[in-house]
Amino acid sequence: MSITLKSYKPGQSGHVKSITANGLAPKLVEMGIYEGQLLKVLYRAPLGDPIAVDVGGYVLSLRLDEAALVQMENEKL
Amino acid sequence: MELKRIALIGNPNTGKSSIFNHLTGLNQHVGNFPGVTVDKKSGTAQLPSGRKIEVLDLPGTYSIFPRSKDERIVIDVLRDAKNANHPDAVVVIADASNLKRNLLLFTQVYDLQLPLILVLTMQDVAEKKKAELNIAALQKQFENVQMLYVNGRTGEGIDALRIEMDSIQPHTSREKFVDSSVENLLADKSAQAVDAQKRFAEIRKLLLIIQHKKGSNSQNTTSEKLDSLLVHPIFGYVIFIGILLFIFQVIFSIASYPMQWIDGTFLQLSQWTKGLMPAGVFTDLVAEGIIPGIGGVVVFVPQIALLFFFLAVLEETGYMSRVVFIMDKLVRPFGLNGKSVVPLMSSVACAIPGIMAARTISSWKDRIITIMVAPLMSCSARIPVFTLLIALVIPNEQVLGFFNLQGLVLFMLYALGLVSALLVAAVMKFLLRSTDKGFLLLEVPSYQLPRWRHIFITIWEKVRIFIFDAGKVIVAISILLWALASYGPTERMNNAVQKVELAQAENHLSQEEYEKQVNAVKLENSYIGIMGKAIEPAIAPLGFDWKIGISLITSFAAREVFVGSMATIYSVNEDFEEDNSLMKRLKEEKHADTGQPVYTLASGMSLMVFYVYAMQCMATLAIVKRETKSWKWPIIQVIYMGILAYLAALLTFNILS
């Protein structure tokens, strides 16, 4: 079981390994989240969800449910 | 090439609307795409050669493949040459500071083989991020595509864009950037993900050639500092509520000045007309029906303009997406979505654009719930009702040092609408069954200063819709009301007037008193009086009399008609020469049987609470029907809101009296 973006804390970054096949997958890719992309969690909403992620120079907010679809390389930079 | 129509397409937040505004100025209109309910924004642009072409502003999107109903229209219009809105050429607007993601959409459109211009925006931001772009190298990679920089904020580059639009040429088919069939991709979602990945891989290679990064990709630190405050667990919400409170206080305090002026001007105009034209039915129609009716529309313009001004500033600065961010988790238990917050906030101006804005919510259930509760948010049409009644029954005092009591009551009415919307949404979440899950995935743009020209055009568009769309209904109903209040069953009218004449003979009433009584019984026995009296027993427990009953009936057309109705009802009953404002007239109004004032704290608050809940807007119902494609939802809406209104007003009246 690899780690997902959901477990990343603000300030941590890592590369995308794969996207779990799901109706949402094409949307995630279109927003720039695809294999090899560097992601950095910037901050969380006051209640811990959603999170704001830097995706190669722009900020994307996504829910933890959605972050759980993003499989990450086994690293937390 | 004889170019007739050109379409603008781009990601959200690229400055596409600014460029559209620069190209078309105020020469634009909002219509509909056939078959779907997405707003079609188009306008006319003048080209250097003197030709005029239609510019179509397609909804902002990240991809040509639809993820929501809002985005479906893009592929339909671009792909099908037989589509009534199919453009002859396309201008893709791309954010140069975020080129990789923006080029995805560009390469998709490129592969559709349409004549193309690529406009790059946000050059200043890209430079701040130290990403230098070699535009000539980029142009080499794509056949037959003109590329140029445009600054949406200053309009720099717009003239160059016009020249390019003038000289755009048809072309032989290009070699595709990524060889895939749009038809196959439309049918297969997972293939779309694969296609997008392929495109990104190619774009990455391309960017290595055309983009030179100088130093690290540093984030906008001002944005970061602001975000640490604006999405803060405590300050984030405090600031959000503070901003809302500020907006309502400003609207209430500033708008009243132009409104008083407009009120007075139309009253004078009425009197002037009466004095100038020969006495008769036609003069009465103009002076007592049409002029007060138009005045009743124009008087709300200052408030609506102010409201849309603030909403546009929040949207423009990028604050709105922070609102979605901090509210998402909070509103989810109520069956709503962070994206519901913007439609609901827009409903504070008017439920119609609010309900239409709910289209961006991709989950059917979240969307239906948002639509169903949106009219509970206090819209601007309620403002005149609230303004009038607050001024009538709430003293103009300071409380807790600096709060204006009237402003505070207005804020509480808005809060009541909001809380009720959330509670109803929670109940609906429980009642509605659905399997699809919504998603958020929202770009959080950097903060930026608002583009005033853009805001001005937004306000103008909204005010124009109000004056000409809602205005027609209001004026028509004002005239209808005047007629219904001036005429009644002849025999009944004559009998009533005769009774007053007999009374005069016995009691020797003064001429003035006699005329007042004649007018009073005439109104009471007019068609409208009969209607109002018929529903009086049902609304008496709420503290309302039959005159309020009349206004409740007419308000079903639109809430703001309430004030116009009151003005018409009382101005018919009042001698115009005496210059009595509606306010003064209402304050003097007494119950015929008890002699107690009609407008007390209890009845005034009861009436305001009734207006918080009741679904009194035909236009909103029509929109709900159009958006949900069924009469089921608007009918449910009328019934549930009506029941809530009656019970809440009953409760309020009994607690306060």
Chain B closest CA to A21's CA: distance in Å? 8
B584–A contact, CB cutoff 8 A: no
Contact B542, B656 (CB under 8 A): no
CB-hemisphere CA count at 13 Å for B17?
19
Contact B55, B42 (CB under 8 A): yes
Q: What is the mean pLDDT of residues B561-577?
A: 58
Considering only CB atoms, B441 lies closest to which of A27, A43, A57, namely A27
- What confidence score (pLDDT) does residue B37 get? 56
B104–A contact, CB cutoff 8 A: yes
How many residues in chain A?
77
E strand residue ranges, B1-128: 5-10, 28-32, 39-46, 52-57, 89-95, 116-121
Number of other residues whose CB lies within 10 A of the CB of residue B293: 24
Mapped onto helix, strand or coil, the DSSP state of residue B153 is coil
Q: Which helix (H) or strand (E) segment is B342 a member of?
A: helix B338-347
B193–A contact, CB cutoff 8 A: yes
- What confidence score (pLDDT) does residue B436 get? 60
Considering only CB atoms, B441 lies closest to which of A19, A57, A66, namely A66
Mapped onto helix, strand or coil, the DSSP state of residue B413 is helix
B326–A contact, CB cutoff 8 A: yes
pLDDT of residue B1 exceeding 60: no
Considering only CB atoms, A50 lies closest to which of B67, B237, B328, namely B328
- What confidence score (pLDDT) does residue B220 get? 57
When pLDDT is cut at 50, 70 and 90, the band that residue B573 belongs to is very low
Considering only CB atoms, A58 lies closest to which of B101, B190, B224, namely B101
Number of other residues whose CB lies within 10 A of the CB of residue B86: 16
**Distance separating the N- and C-terminal Cα atoms of chain B:** 75
Contacts of A29 in chain B (CB under 8 A): 192-193, 196-197, 200
Contact B308, B300 (CB under 8 A): no
pLDDT of residue B467 exceeding 60: yes
**Which of A43-57, B410-424, B438-452, B546-560 has the lowest average pLDDT?**
B546-560
> Which residues have C-beta within 8 Å of that of residue B5, sequence separation ≥ 6?
B53, B54, B55, B56, B85, B86, B87, B88
Q: Which residue of B has its CA nearest to A33?
A: B197
Quote the distance between the C-alpha of residue B305 and its chain's center: 11
- What confidence score (pLDDT) does residue B332 get? 87
CB contact under 8 A, A46 and B65: no
Q: Which residue of A has its CA nearest to B234?
A: A46
Contacts of B446 in chain A (CB under 8 A): 59
B192–A contact, CB cutoff 8 A: yes
E strand residue ranges, B427-480: 442-444
When pLDDT is cut at 50, 70 and 90, the band that residue B70 belongs to is low
Distance, in Å, from the CA atom of B32 to the CA atom of A3, rounded to the nearest integer, reads 46
**Residues from A in contact with B at Cβ < 8 Å:** 19, 21, 23-32, 34-35, 42-43, 45-50, 52, 54-63, 65-66
Please indicate whether residue B480 or residue B468 has the higher confidence score (pLDDT).
B480
Q: Can you give the pLDDT of all 77 residues of chain A as single tens digits?
A: 579 999 999 999 999 999 998 888 899 999 999 999 999 999 999 888 899 999 988 899 999 999 999 999 877 76
A48: left (phi over 0), alpha (psi -120 to 50) or beta: left
B321–A contact, CB cutoff 8 A: yes
CB contact under 8 A, A49 and B193: no
When pLDDT is cut at 50, 70 and 90, the band that residue B216 belongs to is low
Contacts of B440 in chain A (CB under 8 A): 50, 61-63, 66
Q: Which residues of B139-167 are buried (b: 16+ CB within 10 A; e: fewer)?
A: beebeebbbebbbbbebebbeebbebbee
- What confidence score (pLDDT) does residue B574 get? 39
DSSP string computed for B502-571: HHHHHH---HHHHHHHHHHHHHHTSHHHHHHHHHHHHHGGGT--HHHHHHHHHHTTBTTHHHHHHHHHHH
Contacts of A58 in chain B (CB under 8 A): 98, 101, 443
- What confidence score (pLDDT) does residue B363 get? 75
Chain B closest CA to A3's CA: distance in Å? 20
CB contact under 8 A, B193 and A19: yes
- What confidence score (pLDDT) does residue B581 get? 63
- What confidence score (pLDDT) does residue B384 get? 79
Distance, in Å, from the CA atom of B479 to the CA atom of B282, rounded to the nearest integer, reads 12
Mapped onto helix, strand or coil, the DSSP state of residue B477 is helix
Percentage, residues of chain B above pLDDT 70? 90
- What confidence score (pLDDT) does residue B56 get? 95
Contact B373, B344 (CB under 8 A): yes
pLDDT of residue B432 exceeding 90: no
Contact A32, B101 (CB under 8 A): yes
Contact B458, B312 (CB under 8 A): yes
B634: left (phi over 0), alpha (psi -120 to 50) or beta: alpha
- What confidence score (pLDDT) does residue B69 get? 63
Query: Which of B29-38, B100-109, B212-221, B454-463 reaches the highest mean pLDDT?
Result: B100-109
CB contact under 8 A, B219 and A62: no
Interface of B with A in 115-144 (CB under 8 A): 129, 131
- What confidence score (pLDDT) does residue B188 get? 86
DSSP string computed for A16-73: EEEE--STTHHHHHHTT--TT-EEEEEEE-TTS-SEEEEETTEEEEE-HHHHTTEEE-
**Which of A28-32, B6-10, B61-65, B559-563 has the lowest average pLDDT?**
B559-563
Considering only CB atoms, B236 lies closest to which of A31, A32, A46, namely A46
B519-561: pLDDT as tens digits: 767 777 888 888 888 999 999 999 998 888 888 877 876 687 7
> Which residues have C-beta within 8 Å of that of residue B426, sequence separation ≥ 6?
B333, B334, B335
Considering only CB atoms, A35 lies closest to which of B100, B131, B197, namely B197
Mapped onto helix, strand or coil, the DSSP state of residue B236 is helix
Contacts of A62 in chain B (CB under 8 A): 439-442
pLDDT of residue B430 exceeding 50: yes
Contacts of B441 in chain A (CB under 8 A): 24, 27-28, 31, 60-62, 66
Query: Which of B79-88, B210-219, B520-529 reaches the highest mean pLDDT?
Result: B79-88
Percentage, residues of chain B above pLDDT 90? 27
B480-506: pLDDT as tens digits: 878 887 888 888 888 888 887 887 778
Contact B612, B415 (CB under 8 A): no
Q: Which of B636, B581, B653, B591 is nearest to B266 (CA)?
A: B581
What is the Rg, in whole angstroms, of the alpha carbon atoms belonging to chain A? 11
The DSSP call for residue B135 is: H
pLDDT of residue B577 exceeding 50: no
Considering only CB atoms, B325 lies closest to which of A24, A34, A61, namely A61
Considering only CB atoms, B439 lies closest to which of A24, A34, A52, namely A24
- What confidence score (pLDDT) does residue B223 get? 78
Q: Which of B505, B466, B479, B510 is nearest to B617 (CA)?
A: B466
Contact B579, B267 (CB under 8 A): yes
pTM of the full structure: 0.78
Q: What is the mean pLDDT of residues B179-201?
A: 89
Strands B403-404 and B398-399 come out as antiparallel
Identify the sign of the CA torsion B351, B354, B356, B361: negative
> Which residues have C-beta within 8 Å of that of residue B509, sequence separation ≥ 6?
B503, B517
Task: Please report the number of interchain residue pairs, chain A to chain B, with beta-carbon separation below 8 angstroms.
Answer: 118
Contacts of B445 in chain A (CB under 8 A): 59
- What confidence score (pLDDT) does residue B215 get? 56
Chain B closest CA to A72's CA: distance in Å? 16
CB-hemisphere CA count at 13 Å for A31?
26
When pLDDT is cut at 50, 70 and 90, the band that residue B172 belongs to is low
For residue B487 the two structure tokens come to 């005429």
Mutate to test the interface with A, among B439, B446, B447, B448 (most CBs of A within 10 A): B439
- What confidence score (pLDDT) does residue B367 get? 87
Q: Which helix (H) or strand (E) segment is B629 a member of?
A: none
Distance, in Å, from the CA atom of A6 to the CA atom of B306, rounded to the nearest integer, reads 41
- What confidence score (pLDDT) does residue B201 get? 92
Q: Which residue of A has its CA nearest to B95?
A: A58
Q: What is the mean pLDDT of residues B47-69?
A: 88
Considering only CB atoms, B329 lies closest to which of A35, A49, A52, namely A49
CB-hemisphere CA count at 13 Å for B135?
15
Contact B304, B349 (CB under 8 A): yes
- Report phi then psi at B79, rounded to 5: -85, -40
When pLDDT is cut at 50, 70 and 90, the band that residue B572 belongs to is very low
Mapped onto helix, strand or coil, the DSSP state of residue B403 is strand
> Which residues have C-beta within 8 Å of that of residue B513, sequence separation ≥ 6?
none
CA distances from B351 to B163, B411, B532, B621 (A): 41, 18, 28, 10
CB contact under 8 A, B196 and A26: yes
**Which of B199-203, B353-357, B391-395, B596-600 has the lowest average pLDDT?**
B353-357
When pLDDT is cut at 50, 70 and 90, the band that residue B571 belongs to is low
pLDDT of residue B380 exceeding 80: no
CB contact under 8 A, B193 and A29: yes
Considering only CB atoms, A61 lies closest to which of B217, B237, B444, namely B444
What is the Rg, in whole angstroms, of the alpha carbon atoms belonging to chain B? 29
B443–A contact, CB cutoff 8 A: yes
The ipTM estimated for the assembled molecules is 0.94
When pLDDT is cut at 50, 70 and 90, the band that residue B579 belongs to is very low
With helix as H, strand as E and coil as C, how does A20-36 read?
CCCCCHHHHHHCCCCCC
pLDDT of residue B597 exceeding 60: yes
CB contact under 8 A, B329 and A45: yes
